[in-house]
Structure 1
């Protein structure tokens, strides 16, 4: 068999495998979409009879060290981070000595501001005042 014939056979095999993979992926997407639509219809037909049983024990609190770490890690993302009403954007590679006024042992509560699609837009931390 000539070299050109071998290359043609390999190319045809690759094309057939690629088309088969595309069709298989399209079929899987259709199946998942149908299952999701069926689940939405089923939940809509429940007419409020679905109740959640998972309850949290309260608000999740963060320490000042966790807040500081979060502010530094969120830099470079599109998420804005706010601590006690002041927004911070710090590049740890350029500004290593920038100080964020956070009490490392303090307790902070968080607020998540999301878009209509559920994307996180802003993360706010507020210091909890200890009552005496």
Structure 2
């Protein structure tokens, strides 16, 4: 059976900025770029199935972002637990040096997750240049 959902249309729907001030005149991506003519022409052909797929994707992205934010908060809370025991001006390596083994394991797990987004962003911006 052939899928009636076109990924390129779902992608356009998920990047559509419904809050852009000029949205009544033309569609914009969430990053501020206006849709090209080809994108606009494709966008107006979306099906109910593609709209449903886009909504599901947006909900998944929102859930993922909430989980990531919770992990980042847990990462900061873990560090603050140890910074409270250290003199003012201490740095992360000072906190890590006095961590209990189980907290250190959690620190390593959360550090990888909490910094992944920033690391990917850094790589995208600087490694290709």
* TM-score normalised per structure 1: 0.31
Greater gyration radius: 1
* TM-score normalised per structure 2: 0.32
Structure 1 or 2: larger strand share? Answer: 1
